[in-house]
Amino acid sequence: MNDEKIETNARPVDFIREAVEADLQSGRFDRVHTRFPPEPNGYLHIGHVKAITIDYGIAEDFGGLYNLRFDDTNPVKEDVEYVDSIMEDIRWLGYDWEDRLYYASDYFGQLYDWAVELIKQGKAYVCDLSADEVREYRGTLTEPGTDSPYRNRSVAENLDLFERMRAGEFPDGSRTLRAKIDMASPNINLRDPVMYRIIHEAHHRTGDAWCIYPMYDWAHGQSDSIEGISHSLCDLAYEDHRPLYDWYLDQLGIHHPRQIEFARLVLSHTVLSKRFLRRMVEEGLVSGWDDPRMPTLSGLRRRGYTSTAIHAFCDMIGVAKRNSMVDIAMLEYCIRQELNETAPRVMGVLRPLKVVIENYPEDRVEMFDARNNPVDPEAGSREVPFSRVIYIERDDFLEDPPKSFHRLAPGREVRLRYAYFITCTGVVKDESGEVVELRCTYDPETRGGSAPDGRKVKGTLHWVSAAHAVPAEVRLYDRLFTVEDPMGLEEGQDFLHYLNPNSLEVLTDCRVEPSLVSATVGDRFQFERQGYFCVDPDAAEGWLVFNQTVQLRDTWAKIQQRDA
């Protein structure tokens, strides 16, 4: 390789890019080839996006290649559903693995042959200890492990037993193949790790061809080697596993990728573990992997998040060497910033309160011009109908308001967005004393929202015409967990103890302006004074369903200003 400096695309430099460039300049590698290796045992979550972005971004920056490889080594937990969802999510993010789609199961034959090679070298043996006994013999972080009584079997016996394991002669859990390394190693991963276990389960790709399956740690590094990966990029959880990967590759004498670890994403008020997310799905605590409260990409997409907002979030958090908690408000900030620029404005009343404007003609309907997006002048405008009976938000009226309340109250005048000033003249209550209707008058001289005499009002309300409004269901969301770190558990405490019982509120009597009657699944809007919302797949003809994407209030930006 020549000494010419490698050209990279203009973007922030981090320690991984510095290491990759150094490898190219030194001649350690003459190309860049990365991969994203998900296990197909659940849906991708926002934490995976950081890894995908790093893997793909490094390859793109250095003109290299990017593989998608499923590490499908455990048929008990894997499913084609997860494979399909992962590919859909990666495409949604805008990444293309082209023709480089692989599976660890593609290499089961080669992995088996390599295991036989290690047995022949005296570096692997068949062990009859149970899983519990293996853990007991392994020792602790401060005490060395104890050799398995089967560690010194002969090469011939190990080859015979391993072949019989492969042939299906033994039941699940009765035997394993283990690497013979060092039971006294300070790194527990090197204390004779299991390479193969017996699982009599059909695999989603290989069917019943195998009844022994490689452990992740055995398949991972060798799969990278087979594919010619130059840089194996992974989170810090795999740092202690790197010596094991190195040992396997060195014993086999095959291509040796360089592993570089980075800090994983830890997001507040949620969990980023497929194991824990799957538990919530299986126990019915959420409606599925795509529940809008979930941190999965399918859940975020259903809630109204865009791939560009998620990329902006990843750019903001950057690439670090140490794990740290990221406030989920930062993710909300990113989608709020984008939707402020792009989302059409509409009026929707979530908790309707009927208002009769008594001096407005009963048969009259006026059309008012409303801006679609004040941030984008080219977005144009739309017409919204106004009539004698309208709905306002129930929270916009108080019969006995405090001084700080500037919305509607008896005898008080407010502005209706785009329309007129109205004054509350009467209150109608039901038998229980609840306010069910307001009587008001309007000032016809204030059309468009301003008074010719220059008088001012402090409150401006959104509204919809009762005769023209479209019924809708609106789903409001709160944090999935009540604490910032639900995994920072007290002893004996289950993470579900912190599950927020009020994370979902469903409103079924909402009214939205008629322009939304043609809205389709995935369309995003700002409900004025309410927040940003997205049409849910549950919507049907004549029945709109909206998910709240994010509130209007920007808590993260305020926190930054406070701490500055």
Give catalytic residue positions.
Answer: 39, 264, 274
In whole angstroms, what is the distance from residue 345 CA to residue 524 CA?
Answer: 9
**Nearest 5°: CA angle at 498, between 557 and 537?**
70
**Distant-in-sequence, close-in-space partners of 404: CB < 8 Å, separation ≥ 6:** none
In whole angstroms, what is the distance from residue 19 CA to residue 16 CA?
Answer: 5
Chain centroid to CA 84: how far?
A: 16
Residue 369 token pair: 């011009």
DSSP 489: P
Spell out the long-range contacts of 2-5 with Cβ–Cβ below 8 A and sequence spacing 24 or more: none
Q: How far is CA 248 from CA 118, 135, 476, in A?
A: 9, 21, 51
- Taking the alpha carbons at both ends of the chain, their separation in whole angstroms is 47
In whole angstroms, what is the distance from residue 353 CA to residue 424 CA?
Answer: 13
Place of tokens 């909206």: 546
In whole angstroms, what is the distance from residue 169 CA to residue 195 CA?
Answer: 18
Chain centroid to CA 555: how far?
A: 20
DSSP 3-state assignment of 340? helix
Phi, psi dihedrals of residue 557, rounded to the nearest 5°: -60, -40
Contact 455, 386 (CB under 8 A): no
Short-list 128, 136, 243, 230, CA closest to 190: 243
Short-list 276, 277, 301, CA closest to 289: 277
**Nearest 5°: CA angle at 291, between 289 and 295?**
75
Contact 251, 22 (CB under 8 A): no
Amino acid at 338: E
In whole angstroms, what is the distance from residue 256 CA to residue 237 CA?
Answer: 20
DSSP 3-state assignment of 201? coil
Phi, psi dihedrals of residue 198, rounded to the nearest 5°: -90, 125
Taking each helix axis as running N to C, give the angle between helix 155-167 and helix 108-120, from 0 to 180 degrees, rounded to the nearest 10.
160
Q: In terms of C-beta density within 10 A (0-12 exposed, 13-18 middle, 19 or more buried), how is residue 10 classed?
A: exposed
Short-list 97, 80, 82, 100, CA closest to 44: 82
Residue 188 token pair: 């527990």
Contact 349, 388 (CB under 8 A): no
The region, left, alpha or beta by phi > 0 then psi within -120 to 50, assigned to residue 75 is alpha
Burial 328-363 (b: 16+ CB within 10 A, else e): bbbbbbbbbebbbeebbbbbbbbebbbbbbeebeee
